[in-house]
A and B are shown apart, each in its own frame.
Chain A
Amino acid sequence: MADFSKDEYYTNRELSWLLFDKRVLGEAKDKSNPLFERLKFLSITASNLDEFFMVRVASLKDMVNAGYKKKDIAGMTVPEQLAAVVEETHKLVEQQYSIYNRSLVSQLMDNGLHIIRHHEDLNKEDAAYIDRYFADDVYPVLTPMAVDSSRPFPLIRNKSLNLGALMRKKNGKGELVFATVQVPSVLSRIVEIPGDEQKVILLEEVIERNIHKLFLNYDIVCSYPFRIMRNADLTIEEDEADDLLQEIEKQLKKRQWGQVIRLEVEEGIDSRLLKLIREELQIEPEDIYSINGPLDLTFLMKMYSMEGFDHLKEHGYLKPQPVPELAEEADIFGAVRKGDILMHHPYQTFEPVVNFIRQAAKDPDVLAIKQTLYRVSGHSPIIAALEQAADNGKQVSVLVELKARFDEENNIVWAKKLEKAGCHVIYGLVGLKTHSKITLVVRREENGIRRYVHLGTGNYNDTTAKLYTDIGLFTCSEEIGEDATAVFNMLSGYSEPRSWNKLSLAPLWLKDRFLYLINREKEHAKQGRNAHIIAKMNALCDKDIIEALYAAGAAGVKIDLIIRGICCLKTGIAGVSDHITVRSIVGNYLEHARIFYFENDGKPEYYCSSADWMPRNLERRVEILFPVEKPQLQVKLRHILDCQLKDTVKASVLKPDGSYEKAGRKGKEMYNAQMQFCIEARDAAKAKNNAGNKRVFIPETHHAE
């Protein structure tokens, strides 16, 4: 048998991730996108990069520190990876600012929004306003800190924007003193200047202009903004933690104390100042990014929501449409009893899921509600409904995953609130992150207990449900209901069931299940039968899965992958992956659904899941794979996959050389799958409405002659 495990068949995941961020940057560059959307995409690349540093680069640094010797999937050592990542990141940052400076700033100007880059460029009148603003609003919240023999170098907070300055005692020759002040995050970064023309200046410029007012006994020699990023990957020693909750709270406080792994400074920073900061923070030269423009481009997201620029935003995508099977105020239980319901968010509204919990909370026949919550939005209506349910005497069990990255603080608040309301709250499982999205409502009906289950690919978060594309399934199938009960029994710490009817769970069974399904296609191909896999997910980097895909592809299985982010699989390797295509869709909505299609020799099987084909999903998380078996729902899923495979506008195709290329070149017809789904959702909702209207009888008011 051929060896599919060779290093050269795989791409390093960090480098593949950087390619993804580059594709997002491509959207910022794309002139066919409305200007403000381009700002948004640029902002996303910046916040993506921040997270990438805090988690991935930090982890590489940890490995270097720990002398970790193991090579990655592509055979690269840790220092090799780190070097390559740093090199690519520098290039990416350059591209970010090139787009910002060369195209966005001037186009904003053309559209009547003037960003004043340096405070020196302010006219007298505006300068006076800015100074007043500084005195009234900014000054009171600043905490300037100077460093001298009696005051040590202050703690610079992670991800915070700061101004660093060198000063000298007035009327003295003395040596240079370092001072720093944090640009306060409680104030808007964008300061609007009143006047006929719409002008803005960034907060750090406002402070810089007035920095001398903070250090009255000093002369300011120079001042420049800088920003640092610290190692923040939260690794909890769960086996040692007595109380998981306390442990996470403790870790949160510690987080900002991590090692500095990135320093961003303005281009042209005074070399003495830079040297001082660098030595104090002990940072390597390659980790210093000198930026030609404002640091931390995430302020562009704020700019996106500035009033008066609606015409520069995208309006082609419709707001979430009603789900035809579930009209507003519809009895969800009744509707689900009629048949399984598949929802495609955000084209279709997430409201039914919220209503599901709300109705269950009020319904006198409902005995219990059980749910897993991973990332919950602020003021979540779901939390409110669960609280109400507990109030109404239902048994409410909620698994709140505290290990959801960067959301811990948020989650702890909700968890405590639910506990207070009388819900049974489980704070995650030791050693495993619970990533599955499942809700179970147990209802006592005439013929006995009936279980209603919602399974999804996305979190129970009504805010992200408007931005992420996800699949949700409502069902009251006995078999899935039984499995769902078993899932919650397991999550509550009871033993696994003797067998599962329909669901497959990670970390125990899911990977084997996927490998089985892939290998089954391979066997079919070997016997000359039809074999085809279409898999859509966010990331693919599990080596066992990729090896299985290579083996299946080599045996003749046609494999079409739709992978938004990281993809460690390579296409076009002769005899290995020449039957495999990979495309990535980066569009208006964040692609998030995981859908899997297996041809199975003419008896196709469809699955949806909360899991990507990543080791962390398959081995260290609780995930669920659920089949979609109703033929009419299978048609819907196939349609979604087909449309995405047809996309020529937002799709990029992975080339054998490892780069991505927009799918729509060479005069192909324009086809935007996300746009298409919007239209279809609208039409489906409309058709339902029209059909409803037909039920209204129109009485004849005149007697026909």
Chain B
Amino acid sequence: MKTFAAIDVGSYELAMKIFEISSRNGIKEIDHIRHRIDLGSDTFATGKISNERIDELCRVLRDYGEIMKSYKVDQYKAYGTSAIRETDNRRIVLDQIAQRTGITIEVLSNSEQRFLDYKSIASGGDVFNRIIEKGTAIVDIGGGSIQVSLFDNDMLVTTQNMRLGVLRLQDRLGRLNIRPEQKEGMLDEIISSQLAVFKKLYLKDRAVENIIVVDDYVSAIVGKNVDGLEHSSVEASAMDNFLERLRAKSVQEAAGILDMPEENVPLLFISGVLINRIAKVMDAKMIWVPGVTLCDGIAYEYGEKNKLIKASHDFEQDIIACAQNISKRYMGSRRRGETLEKIALTIYDSMKKVHGLGDRERLLLRIATLLHDCGKYISLVNLGQCSYNIIMSTEIIGLSHVEREIVANVVKYNHMDFQYYEAMDKDGYITGKEYLTIAKLTAILKVANGLDRSHKQKFKNVKTTLKDEQLIISVDSSVDVTLEKGLFAKRADFFEEVYSVRPVIRQGN
């Protein structure tokens, strides 16, 4: 059994949960400590976190350190989300915090953060698996934005971020000079206009029966003694009724009845309206509010990584399904993608000793093969750059920003000449380590792509062996591979440059 602490340095709250994780009892929450701290307003307005806030953050983190000590915590993970992510002097701030508190905060990209939220939901196990059997959407409501992710055949296929976070909406309403009774109408209008676009582009005739909600406000009251919301899973119409009753109450009254601070009541209302609107647009029947937080996802990830718990859901499949879906959107050929994937992975696996990369990089290579030519949707000439841009502007749930950068670069250099580290236009995410990964994966993808030049899947049954500084690529003797062989040399050069191993095509036995 391990005692684990998950720390969420959120934009408006610094939360820590203490867990006991064991293969016998799974994940058990022991303590949940929350401290309100507004890092978001500082960052979003000025790009920097003020010294006062950093002092406060450090003070509370030191306290958290003490609490961890008192529980004899084996390990912790501290993640910062958008407020930290969007801070200009992020590295300085994080180093300062680490020096002052001994706690290292890592930064989550939006998609990583949402993926953890998603993992926390999936930690619901059976309930979750049953719900996603039918068409399901996860609506993850944050302060700044919301993330809507869609399931298809119990796999997550697409995810979109919309700037409809509750605090942002409250802020926008606050700026409008309108009467209180106009507010809800205004709110509905803002939400509906964005949702209409989402529906048109992504929903089409997908049937969404269930909505899973992650938020801070509705989650707080569900399961309490609130009429119609006693259970975490309710019929979609219950939200309508709840809002109806909430409208009739003053903020003070509602705060009293719902056991919540008064300032949260308007946010609860916005969250409720959002959920309700989304449920209506999707024509959903059920709403499930599992009441999980990012900390739960962090714990789940830790438990999974350390093999303390068995994953109840194949998250890698979600990432793949997502990539496949993007490929489809940009008219990628499924068959070609699959062949390329097959060849690339075959090479990857036989080169294992040489490249020294792991499962995660293998997954990145897979995604790169799936998205290898998405840019052609825009331009057949500028294929590399367009693919890069598409990948960088599309969220792939479960991938960190760096990983997305790796995939995008691998795809780009598959089509373009490779640029060396010294010449590369780096944006701070790519370090030497990532650069090498890009080079290694690019080399493999380039060779694989070269083997499928004609797009006729000639190398479908390819076999590879590593032997005496050579990578022998064997292919059936029945197919004509003259074209491939002819164009192969240049690609093989790069491969050899990266690995000091020469790929060679062999035909027949």
Bound-state Cα–Cα, A90 to B63, Å: 56
**A448-B291 in contact given A367-B72, A395-B69 (Cβ < 8 Å):** no
- Nearest A residue (CB) for B22: A448
Which B residues are in CB contact (< 8 Å) with A489?
31-34
Residue A486 interfacial (CB < 8 Å): yes
**A494-B35 in contact given A395-B69, A444-B72, A499-B223 (Cβ < 8 Å):** yes
A-B contact count (CB 8 A): 57
Nearest CB on B from A157, distance (A) = 43
- Nearest B residue (CB) for A424: B66
Count contacts on B: residues with CB < 8 A to the other chain: 31
Q: Which of A448, A497, A499 contacts B20 (CB 8 A)?
A: A448
Contact A509 B25 (CB under 8 A): no
**A498-B31 in contact given A367-B71, A448-B1 (Cβ < 8 Å):** no
Which B residues are in CB contact (< 8 Å) with A495?
13, 34-36
Which A residues are in CB contact (< 8 Å) with B257?
512
Bound-state Cα–Cα, A508 to B257, Å: 11
**A499-B224 in contact given A447-B25, A448-B22 (Cβ < 8 Å):** yes
Residue B88 interfacial (CB < 8 Å): no
Q: Which of A395, A447, A499, A500 contacts B70 (CB 8 A)?
A: A395
Q: Mark A491-524, 1 if CB is under 8 A from B, else 0.
A: 0111111111000000011001000000000000
**A498-B220 in contact given A367-B71, A489-B33, A512-B257 (Cβ < 8 Å):** yes
Contact B34 A494 (CB under 8 A): yes
Q: Which of A448, A500, A512 contacts B256 (CB 8 A)?
A: A512
Residue A368 interfacial (CB < 8 Å): yes
Interface residues of B in 244-266 (CB under 8 A from A): 256-257, 259, 261
Interface residues of B in 22-58 (CB under 8 A from A): 22, 25, 28, 30-36
Q: How large is the interface on A (under 10, 10 to 19, 20 to 34, 35 or more residues)?
A: 20 to 34
Q: Which of A485, A493, A496, A498 contacts B291 (CB 8 A)?
A: A498
Which A residues are in CB contact (< 8 Å) with B66?
395, 424
Residue A64 interfacial (CB < 8 Å): no
- Nearest B residue (CB) for A508: B259
**A494-B20 in contact given A367-B72, A447-B25, A499-B224 (Cβ < 8 Å):** no
Bound-state Cα–Cα, A444 to B33, Å: 19
Residue A241 interfacial (CB < 8 Å): no
Residue B219 interfacial (CB < 8 Å): yes
Q: Which of B32, B63, B69, B70 contacts A497 (CB 8 A)?
A: B32
Q: Which of A447, A486, A493 contacts B32 (CB 8 A)?
A: A486
Nearest CB on B from A597, distance (A) = 20
Which A residues are in CB contact (< 8 Å) with B31?
485, 489
Bound-state Cα–Cα, A508 to B72, Å: 32
Count chain A CB atoms within 10 A of each CB in B33, B63, B66, B220 and give the residue with the most.
B33
Interface residues of B in 208-229 (CB under 8 A from A): 219-221, 223-224
Which A residues are in CB contact (< 8 Å) with B30?
448-449, 485
Count chain B CB atoms within 10 A of each CB in A395, A424, A447, A448 and give the residue with the most.
A448
Bound-state Cα–Cα, A448 to B3, Å: 9
Nearest CB on B from A397, distance (A) = 9
Which B residues are in CB contact (< 8 Å) with A444?
72
**A448-B28 in contact given A498-B220, A512-B256 (Cβ < 8 Å):** yes
Contact B219 A498 (CB under 8 A): yes
Nearest CB on A from B83, distance (A) = 17
Q: Mark A331-368, 1 if CB is under 8 A from B, else 0.
A: 00000000000000000000000000000000000011
Contact A500 B259 (CB under 8 A): yes
Which B residues are in CB contact (< 8 Å) with A449?
3, 20, 30, 71
Bound-state Cα–Cα, A449 to B256, Å: 33
Bound-state Cα–Cα, A497 to B35, Å: 11
Which B residues are in CB contact (< 8 Å) with A492?
63
Contact B1 A499 (CB under 8 A): no
- Nearest B residue (CB) for A485: B31
Which B residues are in CB contact (< 8 Å) with A499?
220-221, 223-224, 259
- Nearest B residue (CB) for A394: B70
Which A residues are in CB contact (< 8 Å) with B221?
499
Interface residues of A in 404-459 (CB under 8 A from B): 424, 442, 444, 447-449
Which A residues are in CB contact (< 8 Å) with B70?
367-368, 394-395, 442
Nearest CB on A from B55, distance (A) = 15
- Nearest A residue (CB) for B21: A448
- Nearest A residue (CB) for B255: A508
- Nearest B residue (CB) for A498: B220
Nearest CB on A from B32, distance (A) = 6
Q: Mark A359-389, 1 if CB is under 8 A from B, else 0.
A: 0000000011000000000000000000000
Which A residues are in CB contact (< 8 Å) with B219?
498
- Nearest A residue (CB) for B30: A449
Bound-state Cα–Cα, A190 to B428, Å: 85
Bound-state Cα–Cα, A19 to B157, Å: 75
Nearest CB on A from B130, distance (A) = 24
Bound-state Cα–Cα, A497 to B216, Å: 12
Bound-state Cα–Cα, A499 to B71, Å: 23
Q: Mark A453-494, 1 if CB is under 8 A from B, else 0.
A: 000000000000000000000000000000001100100111
Which B residues are in CB contact (< 8 Å) with A367?
70-72
Which A residues are in CB contact (< 8 Å) with B33?
489, 494
Bound-state Cα–Cα, A498 to B223, Å: 10
Which B residues are in CB contact (< 8 Å) with A448?
1, 20, 22, 25, 28, 30
Q: Which of A368, A394, A509 contacts B259 (CB 8 A)?
A: A509
Interface residues of B in 1-30 (CB under 8 A from A): 1, 3, 13, 20, 22, 25, 28, 30
Bound-state Cα–Cα, A512 to B291, Å: 24
Which A residues are in CB contact (< 8 Å) with B25?
447-448
Bound-state Cα–Cα, A176 to B20, Å: 82
Which B residues are in CB contact (< 8 Å) with A486?
32
Interface residues of A in 559-609 (CB under 8 A from B): none
Nearest CB on A from B331, distance (A) = 46
Q: Mark B149-161, 1 if CB is under 8 A from A, else 0.
A: 0000000000000
Q: Mark A291-307, 1 if CB is under 8 A from B, else 0.
A: 00000000000000000
Nearest CB on A from B219, distance (A) = 7
Bound-state Cα–Cα, A191 to B479, Å: 123
Bound-state Cα–Cα, A226 to B223, Å: 64
Nearest CB on A from B380, distance (A) = 54
Interface residues of B in 272-330 (CB under 8 A from A): 291
- Nearest A residue (CB) for B3: A449
Which B residues are in CB contact (< 8 Å) with A395?
66-67, 69-70
Which A residues are in CB contact (< 8 Å) with B256?
512
Which A residues are in CB contact (< 8 Å) with B259?
499-500, 508-509
Bound-state Cα–Cα, A282 to B500, Å: 104
Bound-state Cα–Cα, A547 to B33, Å: 38
Count chain B CB atoms within 10 A of each CB in A368, A447, A499, A509 and give the residue with the most.
A499
Count chain B CB atoms within 10 A of each CB in A395, A449, A486, A500 and give the residue with the most.
A449
- Nearest A residue (CB) for B15: A495
Bound-state Cα–Cα, A495 to B66, Å: 18
Interface residues of B in 170-225 (CB under 8 A from A): 219-221, 223-224
Which B residues are in CB contact (< 8 Å) with A498?
32, 219-220, 291
Bound-state Cα–Cα, A306 to B439, Å: 96
Bound-state Cα–Cα, A498 to B28, Å: 17
Bound-state Cα–Cα, A94 to B186, Å: 72
Nearest CB on B from A548, distance (A) = 14
A/B interface sample: 9 pairs, CB < 8 A: A395-B70, A447-B25, A449-B3, A494-B33, A495-B36, A496-B261, A499-B220, A499-B221, A512-B256
Beyond contacts A424-B66, A492-B63: 14 other A-B pairs, Cβ-Cβ < 8 A, are A442-B70, A442-B71, A447-B25, A448-B1, A448-B25, A448-B28, A448-B30, A449-B20, A486-B32, A494-B34, A499-B223, A499-B259, A500-B259, A512-B257
Which 8 A-B residue pairs are closest in the complex by CB-CB distance? A395-B70, A495-B34, A448-B20, A498-B220, A368-B70, A494-B33, A449-B30, A489-B33
